[in-house]
Amino acid sequence: MNPRLLLAGFTAVLVLIPLVPGVPVFWITLLGNVGLAALVAMGLVLLTGVGGMTSFGQAAFCGFGAYATAVATTTWGWNPWMALPLSLAVSGGAAVVLGLLTVRLSGHFLPLGTIAWGLALYYLFGNLDILGRHDGISGIPPLSIASHPLTDPRAVHWPIWIAVILAGIATTHLLDSRVGRAIRALRRGRLAAEAFGIDASTTKLIVFVHAALLAGLSGWLYAHVQRTVTQTPFGLNAGIEYLFMAVVGGSGRVWGAVVGAGLVTLLKEVLQRVVPAVVGTGVQLESVVFGIVLVALLQVAREGLWPHLAALLPARPRSAPDPAEALPRRTIDTGRRTPLLVLEGARKQYGGLTAVNDVSFRVGRGEIVALIGPNGAGKSTTFNLITGVTRLTAGRVSFDGAEISGTGPQAIARRGIARTFQHVKLDPDMTVLENVALGAHLRGHAGVVSAMLRLDRRDEARLLAEAAEQVRRVGLGDHMMKPAGSLALGQQRVVEIARALAMDPELLLLDEPAAGLRHFEKGALADLLRRLRAEGVSVLLVEHDMGFVMGLTDHIVVLDFGTKIAEGPPDVIRTHPAVLEAYLGGAA
Amino acid sequence: MDGTILLFLLQDGITNGAIYALLGIALVLVFAVTRVIFIPQGEFVAFGALTYSLLEAGRLPGTVWLLVGFGVAAFVSDLAAMRRAGPSLRRLAVAAVSDLVIPGLLALVAARVAGRGLGAGAHFALTVALITPLGPLLYKIAFRPIAAASVLTLLIASVGVHLALVGLGLVFFGAEGLRAPAVSDLMVNVGPLLVTGQSIAVYVVTLVAIVALWLFFERTLWGKALRATAVNGLGARLVGIRTSFSGTLAFALAAGVGAVSGILVAPMTTIYYDTGFLIGLKGFVAAIIGGLASHPATALAALAVGAVESFAAFFASDMKEIVVFSLILPVLVWRSLTATHVEEED
Amino acid sequence: MSDVLLELADVSVAYGKVQAVRGVSLTVKSGEIVTVIGANGAGKSTLLNATMGALAATGSARFAGRDLARLGVEERVALGLCLVPERRELFSTMSVEDNLVLGGFRVPKAEARRVLAEVYDRFPRLRERRDQTAGTMSGGERQMLAMGRALMSRPKLLMLDEPSLGLAPRIVADIFRIIADLRATGVAILLVEQNARAALAAADRAHVMELGEVTVSGAAADLARDERIAQSYLGLH
């Protein structure tokens, strides 16, 4: 069944519910609360599951939205609809400020930071005169359409759920775009994303602000439904509840947020009304049950409930992209003779340990050069020095005559240097095609807004067609639409190569590309690299497999203990005594 | 502002700071050994305070029900763990003793002692005895099953435990606030300051606790084992230190320290079932400033937090909490920037 | 007459979808030194980690007559199986003496004191530096400390993962001399190494691993003369 049909059906049901006679108002109100919560949970699901940032402070952004419109409509007499852009601007602005601070926090410092400002803001809301201090603001006008005030829960139901559905669609569109791929790539860490030109901090900020805008929208709606605003619903407790909804629904599933919001709101109702009626003592068990369920959920179903539900839906068959207009390609001047990449005296010191010891070599245009050496020789570190992941202690690296030492991975990507990783850094849940499309990130232009409004389809089509081309080029055309995690490790390495090729690079840096490949696969890889060389692409590779290296490369550099011990064409290296000594080990 | 007020505020700050220091140290200890950011530490403090106050008032504290209840839940968790590792009579016996017998005995002792007017010393000991086992029991129920999960998952679990404990606190302690009688009516003049016996008790007990902990970690094998687990979890397992052993010990220490902090706080202010969160958060601020790593840094930071709070309360009492919590942010940014980038290729 | 201490039969270890070790069988008898050599990525370390219980594996592993299947790392240590891992995993902020004392965590106190004295006799360099912080020591000293710590638990079988890794040739010679000496104490040794020459010189029996499988087995002295080793290492097929 087509998900679009499912969504249309869902929308139809929601639209019709208030019109059905006999449905108690109580249920409509409850549904309204679910909708308001779903908006916040949706943003949070994006933030935690996709962006990898857990925030306990989302409720504060609801507060910004709610208070902004409360002040505007009561003190300044604005029309509620006019106050909507103001609410969004205030929440968004606050998100930019807080986001600049928060997204730079790494690991578990980030959620701790959100707890800090979440708390500070809660107390701030309760202490400002303009916000009515602890009494808050009341007498907020309701929304009206053509001078009919929407005071009846049945009437308010529609703006709330229209907002939820539009938000869900926009967010889904965002995730299914160039920016969306960048956001999803960040979940696995910055290294791979930055190597393809993605600005990690800006991308995280985009997610943060998007989530805050959804929360601000929820706050605006809340203010005009409840008609009174105090600090209580905007504190840490609410923040924890929203996080709970995201966890229940399943981090990363946009529509799972609706499920999570629904289940948790229902649970709260049951605990607040039903249980005390049964137990009879007015004992509030809400907090206890929440806590227990949360802990149990983490032990039993860490991915939330949505994956189980989604498994019940038939999978949508995904088809390979249609051919589209080709992206502009880099012209490589194969006539030039000056070396492309030059390392001079590159050194990396970690305290007393010298990992890379004054290594110098060059990679010429249209050459395949291999960097070999026993385990721990410093090959990966040298690689990281070239790609800007690690800073040089001394020495320089130049590319095409210009010095690149000290620049970061994004700048290096923009110069046309693409790389693969020793430990494969693909997103196992994204398809092969999407992973490869990440490589073409710098060749696309569509931004956040065009993604959400689906104006990016042409740009997307060209990016995906390019990615498809590269997937076929490396011989994995049959696996294009499979999740990358389902491929064998050797094949995943080849996907990484396709991703690097999607960048249309001038220099390709491959970190152990042949590891885990079977014999005929190595042959195919060698053929591919030879073809690239003929097209003028230069390759620097780190490898252990000597057979692979000997038959393919023009020039070999051998490292041991961080120092260059030999350099030359394969025939020389094959019989070089120092090389044999280094590999087989000195006699004890 | 004259010198007397300055000194007064400082003294107030240091007294509170001493309590935050114990809290912070417990948080750092638990985090270093188990990677759990233990938000509910504040609840241990509040429950300790409430237990002590109730005993001093001659009543049976609801803690006994918590203890027995958690014991049963922990036993179930132990049974589940045994099903995976293979049943053994010895393991069953050990679990039964630690989860059922000891809590049961403590509950009985408490029932006998409550209302007998045995004095502050006995009540101190009983409070610590009742609260300390809650730590390992909670560890078994909530954290040991997900011990290998990410710090974030453990943090969310921590929040869940906090929610449950606050709710249970209301159920077993009721909504009334309690305050214990001061440990002595002593008032000493130190220059322009008036130092109460209670404050002296706080300083002395805190110092003793810190020294005792230091000796434990430096001189005993178990203390070294905890440090080792914190430094290198895999290395610890390779020398035979069981992860669950370290976790249990760390949580027991945290609960014990929490109980002591609670007893110190009980005569100073009225404690409700939900006061723990705010107190815990301030210890938390101190722990973060100390980088969640260093005990001395945490203790010093705690004194600073106490002092800042004191001054903020004096100048702008409404903004007190805002100031204290906003303190964390620049520290987090700084810590985050200086922390080693974990994602390097190996 | 030496009995079989460690018996691995058809052991396989998978990382997600990757088969890192495929159907490996080997035995180690008490008092002997067995080495597993091979190029980087052959699966040698994975094999040791799985034997220690740090990784899940299929197949059968028996030690001192007991099935290791459901035993965790800590329980295997108590049985007398010890691992010095590739990265040493020392307690780098603690002193040398503390590291050693913790090595004897499972040993009764009086015996631990005696063993500590023996370890200091074997590694006089460690005695000199007993109060030094472990993280500040040189690579060779750290390796000695790691081995000393492992010996503190009186292991019947000591597993060493690439003891020569990152060490200068002279230190490697020292380490391998110590390994040979250990045999006299009755400890059996399972040695995983990339440095084929040193390993084959020290061991009694050897296995060569390639892409997760054992390709060649035999007496160490025989393999030392075998050309196939060089080929396997340098990937020249």
* Chain A residues in contact with B344 (beta carbon < 8 A): 384, 389-390
Q: Which one has a higher pLDDT value, A98 or C231? A: A98
In degrees rounded to 5, what are phi and psi of residue B42?
-60, -35
Q: With an 8 Å Cβ cutoff, is B87 touching chain C?
A: no
Q: Which one has a higher pLDDT value, A270 or B306? A: B306
Nearest CA in chain B to A422: B345
Say which of C18, C41, C202 has its CB closest to residue A588.
C202
Please determine, for residue C180, whether its predicted confidence score (pLDDT) is greater than 80.
yes
Cβ contacts below 8 Å, chain A against chain C, sum to 66
Confirm whether A546 is domain-assigned: no
Say which of C162, C172, C235 has its CB closest to residue A588.
C172
The whole-angstrom distance between C65's CA and the closest CA on chain B is 18
| pTM score | 0.84
Q: With an 8 Å Cβ cutoff, is C95 touching chain A?
A: no
Residue B2: is it exposed, middle or buried by C-beta count within 10 angstroms (0-12/13-18/19+)?
exposed
Residue C46 and residue C113 in contact, taking contact as beta carbons nearer than 8 Å: no
pLDDT of residue A50: 78
| A160-164, B85-89, B142-146, C25-29: the lowest-pLDDT one | B85-89
Structure tokens at A244: 């709970």
Confirm whether A165 is domain-assigned: yes
* Chain B residues in contact with A109 (beta carbon < 8 A): 332, 335-336, 339
Average pLDDT, chain C: 88
Residue type, B332: L
Residue A248 and residue A259 in contact, taking contact as beta carbons nearer than 8 Å: yes
Contact at CB, A585 and C164, closer than 8 angstroms:
yes
The whole-angstrom distance between C229's CA and the closest CA on chain A is 9
pLDDT of residue B89: 85
pLDDT of residue A310: 61
Contact at CB, A104 and B153, closer than 8 angstroms:
no
Each residue's pLDDT tens digit, C84-133:
998 899 999 999 999 999 999 999 999 999 999 999 999 998 999 999 99
Confirm whether A282 is domain-assigned: no
Query: Taking the alpha carbons of B316, B322, B327, B330 in that order, is the dihedral positive or negative?
Result: negative
Question: Do strands C4-15 and C58-63 pair parallel, antiparallel, or not at all (unpaired)?
Answer: antiparallel
The whole-angstrom distance between C20's CA and the closest CA on chain B is 18
Q: With an 8 Å Cβ cutoff, is B227 touching chain C?
A: yes
Confirm whether A11 is domain-assigned: no
Q: With an 8 Å Cβ cutoff, is B85 touching chain C?
A: yes
Contact at CB, B225 and C102, closer than 8 angstroms:
yes
User: Radius of gyration of chain C from Cα atoms?
Assistant: 17
Say which of C78, C94, C149 has its CB closest to residue B231.
C94
Q: Is the ipTM of this complex over 0.95?
A: no
| A229-238, A268-277, B46-55, B299-308: the lowest-pLDDT one | A268-277
Contact at CB, B221 and C105, closer than 8 angstroms:
yes
Residue A245: closest CA among A229, A230, A263: A263
Question: Do strands A144-145 and A341-350 pair parallel, antiparallel, or not at all (unpaired)?
Answer: unpaired
Neighbours of A337 (CB within 10 A): 6
Confirm whether A287 is domain-assigned: no
| E strand map for B28-169 | none
Please determine, for residue B183, whether its predicted confidence score (pLDDT) is greater than 80.
no
Given pLDDT bands bounded at 50, 70 and 90, which one contains residue B325? confident
A58: number of CA atoms within 13 Å, CB side?
36
Each residue's pLDDT tens digit, A193-226:
999 999 988 999 999 999 999 999 999 999 999 9
SS (H, E, C) A476-505: CHHHCCCEHHHCCHHHHHHHHHHHHHCCCC
| A248-257, A297-306, B261-270, C184-193: the lowest-pLDDT one | A297-306
Boundary of a domain, candidates A478, A504, A530: A504
Q: With an 8 Å Cβ cutoff, is C217 touching chain A?
A: no
* Chain A residues in contact with C21 (beta carbon < 8 A): none
Average pLDDT, chain A: 85
Contact at CB, C197 and A584, closer than 8 angstroms:
yes
Contact at CB, B235 and C90, closer than 8 angstroms:
yes
Q: With an 8 Å Cβ cutoff, is C70 touching chain B?
A: yes
Given pLDDT bands bounded at 50, 70 and 90, which one contains residue A2? low
Please determine, for residue B38, whether its predicted confidence score (pLDDT) is greater than 50.
yes
Say which of B231, B238, B239 has its CB closest to residue C93.
B231
- Domain range for residue A84? 33-239
* Chain A residues in contact with B343 (beta carbon < 8 A): 189-191
Each residue's pLDDT tens digit, A412-423:
999 999 999 888
Mean pLDDT of C63-82: 90
Mean pLDDT of C176-181: 90
Test mutation, B159, B274, B331, B338, chain A, max A CBs within 10 A:
B159
Contact at CB, B241 and C85, closer than 8 angstroms:
no
Boundary of a domain, candidates A239, A258, A289: A239
Confirm whether A387 is domain-assigned: no
Contact at CB, A389 and B345, closer than 8 angstroms:
yes
Confirm whether A510 is domain-assigned: no
Q: With an 8 Å Cβ cutoff, is A545 touching chain C?
A: yes
Interface partners of chain B (CB pairs < 8 Å, 3 or more) are A, C
Test mutation, C45, C48, C79, C89, chain B, max B CBs within 10 A:
C89
Residue A242 and residue A54 in contact, taking contact as beta carbons nearer than 8 Å: no
Boundary of a domain, candidates A476, A504, A532: A504
Given pLDDT bands bounded at 50, 70 and 90, which one contains residue A517? confident
Structure tokens at A114: 């959100």
Question: Do strands A148-149 and A144-145 pair parallel, antiparallel, or not at all (unpaired)?
Answer: antiparallel
3-state secondary structure of A100: helix
Structurally, how many domains does chain A consist of? 2
Given pLDDT bands bounded at 50, 70 and 90, which one contains residue A251? low
Where are chain B's structural domains? Answer: 3-179+190-338
Confirm whether A231 is domain-assigned: yes
Contact at CB, B332 and A116, closer than 8 angstroms:
yes
pLDDT of residue B341: 47
Distance CA A372, CA A378 (A): 10
The whole-angstrom distance between A571's CA and the closest CA on chain C is 13
Each residue's pLDDT tens digit, A322-353:
666 777 777 666 667 788 899 999 999 887 77
